[in-house]
Amino acid sequence: MRAVCSRSSDHFVLPEEVFVTGSSAGAYGAIANAPYHMENAWPSSRFSVVGDAGNGVITNDFLVNDLANWGLEQNL
């Protein structure tokens, strides 16, 4: 993701708007990585993010024991 973000920001300099989307498992990537795009690649652009069909079933055990392994807090 970061390599694509870096290459894209070289080619799309100062876009007015950026639309990030992902479907199924990609929905989680779109949502989790959007803050990185906003802060590092295009901080002055307006952002829209859609995570489509990423409605996985998450158990309480996953939330308590495993979610931290994804490193999502790094993008907050």
Residue pLDDT, tens place only, 45-62? 999 999 898 877 678 888
pTM here? 0.62
CA–CA gap between residue 32 and residue 71 (Å, rounded):
9
DSSP state of 43: T
In this prediction, residue 75 carries a pLDDT of: 64
Residue pLDDT, tens place only, 27-38? 988 888 888 888
Place 76 in a pLDDT band, splitting at 50, 70 and 90. low
